[in-house]
């Protein structure tokens, strides 16, 4: 059974700090992995997509890495801002049909 785990479940940091969110998955035979942001009561906003053949992707202050052999991905956020406060979800695509999601990491960046 494919399982996706995100640690920590919640994180509170002061503004300006660099931080790392973790995502682990049990089956390494993935097609791709996608990181999303979700604001309270809202839908999901795509942040980064990493294909199975890639090691990392960058977008602005965000950098996502992928290590298939160890079943791990990390999302690095540089110079965090209060506007980064949200829940961050990772989703793993094992076949064409569906993503498996972690439960998310709720991030609070304090001014």
Partner 1 sequence: DTGVSQNPRHKITKRGQNVTFRCDPISEHNRLYWYRQTLGQGPEFLTYFQNEAQLEKSRLLSDRFSAERPKGSFSTLEIQRTEQGDSAMYLCASSLQGWDTEAFFGQGTRLTVV
Residues that bind partner 1 (CB under 8 A): 4, 6, 31-32, 34, 36, 41-46, 49, 51-52, 89, 91, 93, 96-104
Nearer to partner 1 (CB atom), residue 71 or residue 104:
104
Nearer to partner 1 (CB atom), residue 17 or residue 54:
54
Nearer to partner 1 (CB atom), residue 49 or residue 62:
49
Cβ at position 8, least distance to partner 1 in Å = 14
Q: Are strands 19-25 and 72-77 parallel, antiparallel or unpaired?
A: antiparallel
Cβ at position 87, least distance to partner 1 in Å = 9
C-alpha–C-alpha distance, residues 83 and 54, integer Å: 28
Q: Where are the alpha helices (H) located in 1-78, listed in sequence order?
A: none
Q: Which residue matches tokens 């690095």?
A: 76
Cβ at position 90, least distance to partner 1 in Å = 9
CA distances from 108 to 7, 19, 33, 68, 92 (A): 15, 11, 24, 29, 24
Nearer to partner 1 (CB atom), residue 22 or residue 52:
52
Cβ at position 109, least distance to partner 1 in Å = 20
Torsion over CA: 28, 32, 33, 38 (sign): negative
């Amino acid at each position: 059974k494919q399982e996706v785990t995100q640690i920590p479940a919640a994180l509170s940091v002061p503004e300006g700090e660099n931080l790392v969110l973790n995502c682990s998955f049990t089956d390494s035979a993935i097609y791709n992995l996608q990181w999303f942001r979700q604001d309270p009561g809202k839908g999901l906003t795509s942040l980064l997509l990493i294909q199975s053949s890639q090691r990392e992707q960058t977008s602005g202050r965000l950098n996502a890495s992928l290590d298939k052999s160890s079943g791990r991905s990390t999302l690095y956020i540089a110079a965090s801002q209060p506007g980064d406060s949200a829940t961050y979800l990772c989703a793993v695509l094992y076949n064409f049909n569906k993503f498996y999601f972690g439960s998310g990491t709720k991030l609070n960046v304090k001014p």
